[in-house]
């Protein structure tokens, strides 16, 4: 099976000298659900931004959908990004618009400039968006303003918008960091269900070790910009956890984000 995303010896060094990614190599296959864990400053967010070419890398190569996305520019990069959905910790919704309008924003990359500017979505897109909102338990809120929703509901709208892109790959940057335990469980279950049902590869940055163990097919552990663990949840034992976080497992609060900081803060 061809990889949906490939990192080949990727390094990212910022102008201040911080090396956020150091010789990182891995592949993600279609339908694979991968959690990336590590202390704050380990390079998790930098990895996701490099996967979507939101930041330039210093060396190595990133391939997405068979293209070397790290080298693409302009219209070719915009076209490649259509196949990569993004889900954010802070939702990134347009709060004065309705839930349905926010969901339909996932189709903007497929529309001409004038149609996108005027919001001239096709009837088939509108029907697909309403069906997706129903699948996510948001049908009753389709015409509500996004600002009126709870945090968990806002994140479900963010998921709907990303899935409307019909992506090969979903990149999720701390999608449950701002949510209560019940909403976090709902979001992780929805992400996994949607990804498996549609064959979408999914990479989720997490601080919550219990969520990574419960929902992942595979876990990648970062420390100081390097991959120090890459295996199944069953393989994430106390020794592996200590390699990732630099402290004994009993010192970690696995249900939340209270994990030790690296001594160096990375972007």
pLDDT digits (tens, 9 = 90+) for 139-198: 999 999 999 999 999 999 999 999 999 999 999 999 999 899 999 999 999 999 999 999
Any idea what the CATH number is for the domain that residue 217 is in? 3.40.50.300
Same domain, 230 and 266: yes
Per-residue confidence (pLDDT) for residue 112, from 0 to 100: 82
Over residues 57-62, the mean pLDDT reads 97
User: Residue 63, SS3?
Assistant: strand
Same domain, 58 and 177: yes
**Domain boundary residue among 138, 166, 194?**
166
Same domain, 262 and 144: no
Checking if the pLDDT of 256 tops 60, the result is no
Structural domain total, the chain? 2
**Domain boundary residue among 100, 134, 166?**
166
**Domain boundary residue among 166, 200, 220?**
166
What residues are paired with 201 via a beta bridge? 169
Per-residue confidence (pLDDT) for residue 66, from 0 to 100: 85
Checking if the pLDDT of 34 tops 60, the result is yes
With contact defined as beta carbons under 8 Å apart, do 152 and 186 qualify?
yes
What residues are paired with 265 via a beta bridge? none
**pTM of the predicted structure, to 2 decimals:** 0.89
Query: Residue 62 — very low, low, confident or very high, per pLDDT cuts 50/70/90?
Result: very high
Same domain, 129 and 222: no
Whole-angstrom Cα distance, residue 229 to residue 243?
A: 8
Whole-angstrom Cα distance, residue 67 to residue 126?
A: 30
pLDDT (tens digit per residue) in 45-56: 999 999 999 999
Same domain, 73 and 150: no
Query: Residue 257 — very low, low, confident or very high, per pLDDT cuts 50/70/90?
Result: very low
Same domain, 159 and 249: no
User: Residue 55, SS3?
Assistant: coil
With contact defined as beta carbons under 8 Å apart, do 86 and 169 qualify?
no
Residue-range definition of the domain harbouring residue 115:
89-166
E strands, the chain, are: 3-13, 19-29, 33-37, 59-64, 67-68, 84-88, 169-173, 201-205, 218-223, 226-231
Same domain, 264 and 177: yes
| pLDDT above 70: percentage of residues in the chain | 92
Checking if the pLDDT of 250 tops 70, the result is no
Residue 216 has φ and ψ, to the nearest 5°, of -90, 145
Same domain, 151 and 96: yes
Same domain, 71 and 2: yes
Same domain, 181 and 260: yes
């Amino acid at each position: 099976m061809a990889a949906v995303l490939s990192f080949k010896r990727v390094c990212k060094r910022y102008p201040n000298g911080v090396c956020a990614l150091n010789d990182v190599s891995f592949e993600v296959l279609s339908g694979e659900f991968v959690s990336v864990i590590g202390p704050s400053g380990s390079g998790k967010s930098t990895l996701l931004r490099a996967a979507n070419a939101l930041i330039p890398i210093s060396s190595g190569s990133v391939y997405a959908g068979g293209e070397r996305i790290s080298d693409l520019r302009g219209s070719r990069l915009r076209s490649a990004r259509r196949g990569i959905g993004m889900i954010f910790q802070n939702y990134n919704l347009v709060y004065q618009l309705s839930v349905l309008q926010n969901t339909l924003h996932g189709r903007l990359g497929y529309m001409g400039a004038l149609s996108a500017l005027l919001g001239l979505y096709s009837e088939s897109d509108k029907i697909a968006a309403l069906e997706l909102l129903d699948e996510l338990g948001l049908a009753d809120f389709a015409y509500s303003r996004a600002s009126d929703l709870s945090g968990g509901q806002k994140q479900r709208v963010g998921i709907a918008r990303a899935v409307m892109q019909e992506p090969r790959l979903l990149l999720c940057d701390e999608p449950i960091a701002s949510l209560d335990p019940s909403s976090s469980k709902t979001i992780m279950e929805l992400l996994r269900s949607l990804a498996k049902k549609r064959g979408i590869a999914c990479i989720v940055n997490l601080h919550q070790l219990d969520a990574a163990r419960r929902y992942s097919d595979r876990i990648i552990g970062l420390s100081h910009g390097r991959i120090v663990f890459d295996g199944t949840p069953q393989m994430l034992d106390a020794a592996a956890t200590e390699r990732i976080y630099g402290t004994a497992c009993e010192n970690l609060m696995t249900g939340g984000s209270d994990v030790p900081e690296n001594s160096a803060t990375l972007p």
